[in-house]
Amino acid sequence: MDKPRFRAVVTIEVEGPGPEEFGQALSNAFDIVSFGSVGGDGHTPNGTRYTCRVETNLPTQPMTIEALLGESLDNLSPEQREELIKLYESWSNKAEELRQGQAPES
């Protein structure tokens, strides 16, 4: 049985008063896509507008704090990892206090 194939279509549109900021607009659009976004838009200082859209057959997964933390941990030094884990644990404790109707301690 053949494995399903991955497929993605990336569409980038750039429109502006002249070619001066075409490269910047294109770079900004690629940045949006490279962070895993399904799309976005923006403009450069001279008003060049860009939009990008990614269509894929991959299942979508919501970005949760756990997923973000996991991605972050992969790129940190051991000391930075420990600090981030402490921060996450602090947030978790504050969230639990709120669920129980208590004001979180500062």
Compute CA distances 65 → 18, 29, 39, whole Å.
41, 25, 20
- Whether 6 contacts 54, CB under 8 Å: no
pLDDT tens per residue across span 50-103: 999 988 887 777 767 677 667 777 778 889 888 877 887 887 777 777 778 766
String of DSSP letters for 61-92: ----HHHHHHHHHTTS-HHHHHHHHHHHHHHH
pLDDT for res 104: 57
Compute CA distances 37 → 10, 18, 93, whole Å.
11, 27, 30
CA angle 64, 59, 26 (to 5 degrees): 80
Q: Which residue has the higher pLDDT, 88 or 29?
A: 29
pLDDT for res 20: 87
Read off the pLDDT band of 1 (50, 70, 90).
low
Q: What span, in angstroms and rounded, lies between the C-alpha atoms of 37 and 34?
A: 7
Can you give the residue ranges of every domain in the chain?
Answer: 8-56, 65-99
- 42, amino acid identity: G
| Average pLDDT value for residue range 16-38 | 86
| Average pLDDT value for residue range 27-51 | 87
